[in-house]
A and B are shown apart, each in its own frame.
Chain A
Amino acid sequence: MTPFVADVLIPVGKIVAVILYPMIMVVVMIWLERRVVALMQGRLGPNRVGFQGVLQPVADAVKLFFKEDIIQRQADRFLFNISPVLVMFSSLLAFCFIPLGEPLRFGTYTLTLWIAESPVGLLIVLGLSTISVFGVIFGGWASNSKYPLMGALRSVIQILSYEIPTGLTVLTVAFVARSMDLVEIVRRQESSGVWYGFLMPVSFVVFWISAVAETNRAPFDLPEAESELVAGYHTEYSGMKFAYFYMAEYAHMVLVSSLVVILFFGGWLPPFPGVTALRFLHAVPGFVWYLVKIMFFLYLYVWIRATFPRYRFDSLIRLVWKWLIPLSLANFLIVALVRYLL
């Protein structure tokens, strides 16, 4: 393999892929959500554009491209413009650290299915996804309008509160795997033969609830509760800037689902590694398993949204401070103790 291919073409290809892959997932997710929610509610949903309406998100994006981009006079133009970019950037950049599968071997060359592997990949991903909070508060503040401001305040309180149980549960995984490297965590699940979701169900449940809350999704979608705050922090946005917020939310969901799969459900590993009768499952490429698992969690997002009413803000905060944080602290202690003794 020539150095040109190895050092230039493949990295560039990966960079394109890491931008395209979340975008494609976002498009699929938007379509899936609208169709699945529609079917759960006894209606049809978008089914006209393309086969079964799969091109509907594309049509929506085209519409948003041509919309007038409104910046109201009282807005802070710099912050107003930068916040959608910040939100989008933070969720896209985190995908660099997400491993999609086992490295592929072509002769002497090994193609890794991730851009960067870092010994603290887990921390970087969590940190990056929290940067989106700046985008949200800048957006809400810069709009200089009351509903966005209230939405942004709620959002900041919510995301920061739910960071705590997330961090504590992620630490339990790091303890058990003795690594913060996302690739290494999956490898450890392979060698130990059990996925951490089954080993530590409490960690998984707490992480999942916090993850739903951090992505501002129903039933925790208070920052953009349409029946109260119109559209929350992005009320004043239109056109592509609104689309950025919208896509970033979905990209964030894909990111969080990826994290759940990697941390708790064995990433690209096929299920039941110990059962010899199910060996044939290994014939399916790891990437496919990974996608199937992600889709399951994305479906769960949609399912939850179609089922539950919205929390009120005070009970949402009560839930995290009175239940999730004590629970995750206790869980953290138990896991640490067990890990120390074994």
Chain B
Amino acid sequence: MAFREIDLNMGPQHPSTHGVLRLKLAVDNEVVLRVEPVLGYLHRGMEKLWESLTYTQVVPLTDRLDYLASLSNNLAYCLAVEKLAGIEVPKRAQYIRVVLAELQRLASHLAWTGFMANDIGAMSVLLYGFEAREDILDVFEEYCGARLTVHGIRIGGAVRDLDAPLIARIRTVLERIPKRLADIRALLDENRIWKERTVGIGRISAADAIDYGLTGPPLRASGVAWDMRRDIPYSSYGDFDFEVPLGANGDVYDRYLVRLEEICQSIRIVGQALDGLPDGDCAARVPRILRIPPGEAFHTIESPKGVLGFTIRSNGSDKPERVKMKSPSFINLQSLEHMCKGNLFSDVVGILGSLDIVLGEIDK
């Protein structure tokens, strides 16, 4: 059957574009020729908005960027401000931040596992992933009252201290996750259909991944060992013993395995941080209206999606002159066309899912 090349518009209203992403696809009888992401449907002018707010007022707004990992955004922004202002964060606060950030990574990766499986049609795994994530959200709720847009990290430290009951609760939650993970893996790991849909799909070589600036789990799935937590440690990550899981083929299946292994590593890190929680304050003393001398600072962290960075320029007033965000979802999305070309239309959904993008972070 002779088919003309047709343009297919996927989104902004589409069940699996993870928000309001629009993809302009050119397909030839289901084979993808071109993919062009069209952005901006969720643009809220965040970066401009921040210029009219004080340094402290910006923090809760960063929750709304990557809304599946709001604590990581908090952490990246606060670290950048602290670097610029030269604020020393107490050791205990650093450990609490690690606990929160790693719990957030767990929540984000578990949600991703669910979304990814749902994109490929394994509906039940979506619910299993969310069930496991629910426990962690309950911990956040007990910690600071919010579940989704958790505002748990502030400039100078954390919102509040971890007390004994909360620590006990975190430990029980961590104990439950491996069992749930095992359920998910039993359904997917060796499933023929799952492997057919993921192995060898959306491959990107290590060299290409670096060229495209791919970050986070997709980069590590291609076999590039780069993890900010290990390579440029921040917030006392150097104190903990953990491994950086790597993939070999850089396909969707490897991204899945890397993320699942990262879940196990995060459980280890949280356990170590809770065991070695030093005494001290949970926050440094920071004036309510922070005035920072003129200058510029850039700080990056390893968020669940990849390398997340903030550049902040100060002009001496209580408001930042410019805040620029380097968002991993945006950068990872660039490589979509490279991965999709020549694959089938059905795989675009799986490949897009495997990148773990959040539109709140792409459009800002």
- Mark out the residues of chain B between 107 and 145 whose CB falls within 8 Å of any chain A CB in the assembled complex: 117-124, 126-128, 131
Residue of A nearest to B195 (CB): A309
Is B168's beta carbon under 8 Å from chain A?
no
Is A305's beta carbon under 8 Å from chain B?
yes
Residue of B nearest to A41 (CB): B127
Residue of B nearest to A306 (CB): B124
Measured between beta carbons, the chain A residues less than 8 angstroms from B14 are: 230
Scoring A residues 313 to 338 as 1 if CB is less than 8 Å from chain B, else 0, what string do you get?
11100000000000000000000000
B30 touches A313 (CB 8 A): yes
**Interface residue tally for chain B (C-beta within 8 Å):** 32
Measured between beta carbons, the chain A residues less than 8 angstroms from B122 are: 307-310
Given A227-B15, A228-B16, A308-B191, check contact A218 B121 (CB 8 Å). yes
Is A40's beta carbon under 8 Å from chain B?
yes
Is B197's beta carbon under 8 Å from chain A?
yes
A309 touches B194 (CB 8 A): yes
Measured between beta carbons, the chain A residues less than 8 angstroms from B196 are: 311-312, 315
B344 touches A227 (CB 8 A): no
Is A69's beta carbon under 8 Å from chain B?
no
Measured between beta carbons, the chain A residues less than 8 angstroms from B16 are: 226-228
A227 touches B6 (CB 8 A): no
Given A146-B6, A307-B187, check contact A312 B346 (CB 8 Å). yes
Measured between beta carbons, the chain B residues less than 8 angstroms from A314 are: 344
Is A171's beta carbon under 8 Å from chain B?
no
**Interface residue tally for chain A (C-beta within 8 Å):** 27
B121 touches A225 (CB 8 A): yes
B123 touches A37 (CB 8 A): yes
B191 touches A313 (CB 8 A): no
Scoring A residues 272 to 311 as 1 if CB is less than 8 Å from chain B, else 0, what string do you get?
0000000000000000000000000000000001111111
Is B148's beta carbon under 8 Å from chain A?
no
Is B347's beta carbon under 8 Å from chain A?
yes
The distance from the CB of B153 to the nearest CB of chain A, in whole angstroms, is 31
The distance from the CB of B186 to the nearest CB of chain A, in whole angstroms, is 11
Measured between beta carbons, the chain A residues less than 8 angstroms from B119 are: 227
CA distance A43 to B130 in the complex (A): 11
Is A165's beta carbon under 8 Å from chain B?
no
Measured between beta carbons, the chain B residues less than 8 angstroms from A219 are: 121, 193
Measured between beta carbons, the chain B residues less than 8 angstroms from A228 are: 16, 345-346, 348-349
Other-chain contact of B193, A40, A41, A42, A308 (Cβ < 8 Å):
A308
Is B244's beta carbon under 8 Å from chain A?
no
Measured between beta carbons, the chain A residues less than 8 angstroms from B121 are: 218-219, 221, 225, 227, 308-310
Is B289's beta carbon under 8 Å from chain A?
no
Is A200's beta carbon under 8 Å from chain B?
no
A42 touches B15 (CB 8 A): no
The distance from the CB of B114 to the nearest CB of chain A, in whole angstroms, is 11
CA distance A150 to B31 in the complex (A): 12
Is B188's beta carbon under 8 Å from chain A?
yes
Is B8's beta carbon under 8 Å from chain A?
yes
Scoring B residues 235 to 261 as 1 if CB is less than 8 Å from chain A, else 0, what string do you get?
000000000000000000000000000
A40, A43, A146: most-surrounded residue (chain B CB, <10 A): A146
Residue of A nearest to B343 (CB): A312
Other-chain contact of B188, A40, A41, A309, A311 (Cβ < 8 Å):
A309
Measured between beta carbons, the chain A residues less than 8 angstroms from B128 are: 41-42
The distance from the CB of B348 to the nearest CB of chain A, in whole angstroms, is 8
CA distance A227 to B344 in the complex (A): 14
Residue of B nearest to A218 (CB): B121
The distance from the CB of B188 to the nearest CB of chain A, in whole angstroms, is 7
CA distance A314 to B30 in the complex (A): 10
CA distance A150 to B345 in the complex (A): 11
CA distance A41 to B348 in the complex (A): 26
CA distance A314 to B194 in the complex (A): 14
CA distance A317 to B242 in the complex (A): 44
Other-chain contact of A311, B127, B193, B347, B349 (Cβ < 8 Å):
B193
The distance from the CB of A52 to the nearest CB of chain B, in whole angstroms, is 20
B124 touches A307 (CB 8 A): yes
The distance from the CB of A323 to the nearest CB of chain B, in whole angstroms, is 12
Scoring B residues 8 to 20 as 1 if CB is less than 8 Å from chain A, else 0, what string do you get?
1100001110000
Measured between beta carbons, the chain A residues less than 8 angstroms from B344 are: 312-314
Measured between beta carbons, the chain B residues less than 8 angstroms from A307 are: 122, 124, 187
B120 touches A227 (CB 8 A): yes
The distance from the CB of A315 to the nearest CB of chain B, in whole angstroms, is 5
A221, A228, A230, A309: most-surrounded residue (chain B CB, <10 A): A309
CA distance A43 to B123 in the complex (A): 13
The distance from the CB of B111 to the nearest CB of chain A, in whole angstroms, is 15
Measured between beta carbons, the chain A residues less than 8 angstroms from B345 are: 150, 228
- Mark out the residues of chain B between 172 and 198 whose CB falls within 8 Å of any chain A CB in the assembled complex: 187-188, 191, 193-194, 196-197
Residue of B nearest to A222 (CB): B346
CA distance A313 to B191 in the complex (A): 17
- Mark out the residues of chain A between 22 and 42 whose CB falls within 8 Å of any chain B CB in the assembled complex: 37, 40-42
Q: 7 additional contacts, CB 8 Å, given A308-B193, A311-B196?
A: A37-B124, A41-B126, A218-B123, A228-B345, A308-B191, A310-B197, A312-B344
What are some 22 contacts across the A-B interface (CB < 8 A)? A37-B123, A37-B124, A41-B124, A42-B128, A43-B127, A150-B345, A218-B121, A219-B193, A225-B121, A226-B16, A227-B119, A227-B349, A228-B16, A228-B348, A305-B123, A306-B123, A307-B187, A308-B193, A310-B122, A310-B193, A312-B197, A313-B346
